[in-house]
């Protein structure tokens, strides 16, 4: 059975490799080069429908459509461009759901922040995505299309991809890893330029390491763990799922992941004004990181309407970073992008859904 027949319920060609498409063409009674033609028109020319692939015989195109086979592209619902040129897209899926993706440009790079699920079950207090719960995980074509869509809308080749949009990637491991394989081999984005972010799922990081090695060969993508607190009590307040996954267990699994892959772990830490950004918290975080091959990425909170968390002052951000650096911790501060257009994860989708309900 080919990968195509196993892929998903909506039978999408997007997400398949050139070899997969060649085999698919042969099974359809066509020459293998037809599969290569499909590959070029989908990944390089951005074909959205089978009828757009005019090099294919019309009879075969009609036959594929009758079988329910599609390219698997998403429909654009809305787009919002911020003053700093950050672009957020709302995309519609085949079953009427809404997802969002963000293109974040700088002079030298274009980062695409992709979603891995529709909604999220983790319920992190600072995140708009989890307010509506989880609908379902995204298929490979729905993940890959986010990158292609940003490429088309911004007329620029993406250089980096971060799985930091809607959803918990480790609850969709198979499709996330297949997407990474596609992004690397078919889109041309090096695995080292891809980051997978997780809030932490018990007993999953060692499985991720082993599965990634099996499916991708050597693991080169970056694992980013959303820590957001330096002690268990505070983390449970911010991240409800932390109650079933203590920090000590999480860090133990991170060290196992490092041993299995040889890849340094990055820790995300959202600074919430007056809650987890005090000097004592920086000292506690430094103690957690001591002796750990890691990197801390500080992020100033981007407010959402549903919560009363505050954004810390730049002075406080700088102080927190300085305290970590003085303790010998590798640390950086992520610049906020698209704040004037509700760039926090899940906000635009949530506003759109609320608008639909009102109308």
Instruction: Give me the active site residues, please.
Output: 100, 345
Residue 135 near residue 118, CB atoms below 8 Å = yes
- Please tell me the distance from the alpha carbon of residue 166 to that of residue 114, in angstroms, as a whole number: 7
SS3 content of the chain, % helix, strand, coil (to 5): 45, 20, 40
- Please tell me the distance from the alpha carbon of residue 121 to that of residue 128, in angstroms, as a whole number: 12
- Please tell me the distance from the alpha carbon of residue 129 to that of residue 260, in angstroms, as a whole number: 31
Listed in sequence order, the DSSP H helices in 217-269 are 232-238, 247-261
| Pairing between β-strand 134-137 and β-strand 222-226 as defined by DSSP bridges | unpaired
- Please tell me the distance from the alpha carbon of residue 276 to that of residue 350, in angstroms, as a whole number: 26
HSE-up of residue 192 (Cα within 13 Å, Cβ side):
3
Helix (H) or strand (E) holding 345: none
């Amino acid at each position: 059975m080919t990968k195509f027949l196993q892929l998903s319920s909506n039978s999408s060609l997007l997400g398949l490799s050139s070899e997969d498409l060649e085999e698919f063409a042969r099974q359809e009674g066509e020459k293998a080069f037809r599969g290569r033609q499909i590959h070029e028109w989908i990944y390089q020319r951005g074909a959205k429908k089978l009828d757009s692939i005019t090099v294919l015989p019309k009879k075969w195109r009609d036959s594929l459509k009758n079988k329910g086979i599609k390219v698997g592209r998403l429909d654009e619902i809305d787009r919002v461009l911020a003053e700093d040129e950050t672009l957020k897209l709302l995309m519609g899926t085949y079953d009427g759901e809404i997802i969002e993706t963000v293109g974040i440009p700088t002079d030298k790079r274009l980062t695409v922040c992709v979603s891995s699920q529709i909604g999220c079950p983790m319920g992190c207090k600072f995140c708009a995505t989890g307010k509506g719960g989880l609908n379902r995980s995204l298929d490979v074509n729905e993940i890959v299309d986010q990158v292609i869509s940003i490429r088309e809308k911004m007329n620029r080749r993406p250089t980096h991809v971060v799985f930091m949009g809607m959803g918990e990637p480790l609850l969709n491991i198979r499709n996330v890893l297949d997407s990474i394989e596609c992004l690397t081999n078919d889109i041309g984005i090096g695995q080292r330029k891809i980051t997978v972010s997780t809030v932490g799922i018990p007993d999953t990081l060692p499985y991720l390491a082993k599965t990634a090695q099996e499916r991708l060969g050597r693991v080169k993508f970056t694992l980013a763990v959303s820590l957001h607190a330096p002690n268990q009590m505070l983390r449970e307040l911010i991240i409800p799922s932390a109650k079933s996954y203590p920090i000590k267990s999480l860090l133990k699994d991170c060290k196992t992941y490092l041993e299995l892959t040889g890849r340094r772990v990055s820790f995300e830490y959202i600074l919430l004004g007056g809650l987890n950004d005090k000097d004592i918290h920086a000292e506690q975080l430094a103690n957690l990181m001591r002796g750990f091959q890691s990197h801390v990425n500080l992020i100033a909170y981007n407010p959402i309407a549903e919560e009363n968390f505050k954004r810390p002052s730049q002075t406080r951000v700088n102080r927190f970073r300085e305290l970590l650096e003085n303790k010998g911790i590798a640390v950086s501060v992520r610049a906020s992008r698209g704040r004037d257009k509700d760039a926090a994860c899940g906000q635009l989708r949530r506003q759109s859904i609320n608008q639909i309900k009102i109308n």
